[in-house]
Amino acid sequence: MKYIEQAEIANRRALIRVDFNVPLNDKQEVTDDRRIREAVPTILHILQNGGSCVLMSHLGRPKEREDKFNLKHTISTLKKYVDAPIHFAEDCISDESFQMSADLKPGKVLLLNNLRYYKEEKKGDEAFAEKLSKHGDYWVNDAFGTAHRAHASTAVVAQFFGEDKYCGKLLQKEIEFANKVMNSDERPICAIMGGAKVSDKITIIENLLDKVDYLLIGGGMAYTFLRAKGYRVGTSLMEMEKVPTAAALIKKANRKGVKLLTPVDSVVSSEFGENGTIKVVRNEDFPNEMMGLDIGPQTFEYYYDTILNSKIILWNGPMGVFEMEKFSKGTFAVANAIVKATEEGAFSLIGGGDSAAAIAQAGLEDKVSYVSTGGGAMLEFLEGKTLPGIAALS
């Protein structure tokens, strides 16, 4: 794999796959600009070395050419970080767009409109990819968030650039930090896994059991593990068909000397929401008619020492339904514990998705080592899968 520092940049156009798939409010304003900010170092490197940038991205899941998915809504945010002329092509493969990229002078930026206005993008259509390739003299992939997709712009386009393809600064950083977790000599390593379902995380947990010293389980998936340990879990989210899988993972952890920790208490409710009867119960006292929606305070105390004792920390998935205030304490307590461990010298990687949303909601993004820009991509990378967007660079 070659990196952007190795590219011949002066007087050449970089076709860069960025990830500008950012949330917008009702006024089409960007509400979280992190993915745009993270793309800036690659863009500035090219501009400062006498090149120009043609940026391509998707936004949302448009069915037609809906205006709410028009990438023009991201330009005002990009301008905050890139002090250069930024042009916009209303279509990514129109004659006008090709003329705009052909005329692009060094030091300037052209943003192409939403790639997913064309169904050929997600299909990985070769003819569509070839058209996109005409916008640049070389290709840079800097979109970790879509690196697990074999789409036209994320992987297929690479074949039209021969050896003239490069890994951008963000993608390089994501790979480096994920590898730091998975291949570190520092000990102990702690992985905190949350989220709704065990089925979403089986492969990653199996892979982590070969890498980590501690595995802390929270979220809805914890109740499948608790059921595997013989506890009643009331009406909690629980995948009965995955109970044998959870039991097998517990046995595998024991065999490998990995301490797999599950909750000892839960915040339970009589209904899914904040209007039911809510209380804290230990596992052995779990009421039949109630559901667990967060880890309890004793569980957090139990997890806290493990987190503080760790040198490398990976967090993927919330501890409860953190979007509701009454069930957010466990998630935010874990976030604060990770921050404290980071302050004391640990390396902490927040694995995108809901964990990234939770750490942002807590206002702690800048107090951990790194928050990944890719939810699904980070999961697949940690599972040990080959990501098409990374493979295309090799």
Residue 89 tokens read as: 């092509």
Residue 165: beta bridge partners?
139
Q: Is 13 a catalytic residue?
A: no
* Rounded distance between C-alpha atoms, residue 106 and residue 99, angstroms: 15
Integer-rounded Cα radius of gyration of the chain? 23
282 is catalytic: no
Residue 1: Cβ-neighbour burial (10 angstroms; 0-12, 13-18, 19+): middle
Among 353, 374, 375, 389, the active-site one is 353
27 is an active site residue:
no
The C-alpha atoms of residue 180 and residue 216 are separated, in whole angstroms, by: 19
Residues 6+ apart with CB under 8 A from 105: 52
Q: Which of 338, 277, 350 is nearest to 310 (CA)?
A: 338
Active-site residue, from 60, 107, 276, 376: 376
- Single out the residue of 35, 39, 208, 211 nearest to residue 109, CA to CA: 39
Q: Is position 255 annotated as part of the catalytic site?
A: no
CA distances from 200 to 144, 197, 258 (A): 20, 6, 21
Whether residue 331 contacts residue 320, with contact meaning beta carbons closer than 8 Å, is answered with yes
Place of tokens 């028009």: 70
Beta carbons within 8 Å of 235's beta carbon, 6+ residues apart: 288, 289, 290, 291
State whether residue 292 is helix, strand or coil.
strand
Among 184, 170, 183, residue whose Cα is nearest residue 346: 184
Say which of 13, 17, 35, 329 is annotated catalytic. Answer: 35
Cα torsion through 102, 389, 351, 235, rounded to 10: 120
Residues 385, 146, 173: CA angle, nearest 5 degrees: 75
Q: How many CA atoms does the CB half-sphere of 260 hold within 13 Å?
A: 25
Phi and psi angles of residue 218, each rounded to the nearest 5 degrees, phi first: -145, -170
Catalytic residue among 12, 197, 232, 252: 197
Backbone angles phi, psi at 198, to 5 degrees: -65, -35
Closest CA to 380 of 62, 212, 150, 189: 150
Q: Among all residues, which ones are annotated catalytic?
A: 35, 197, 353, 376
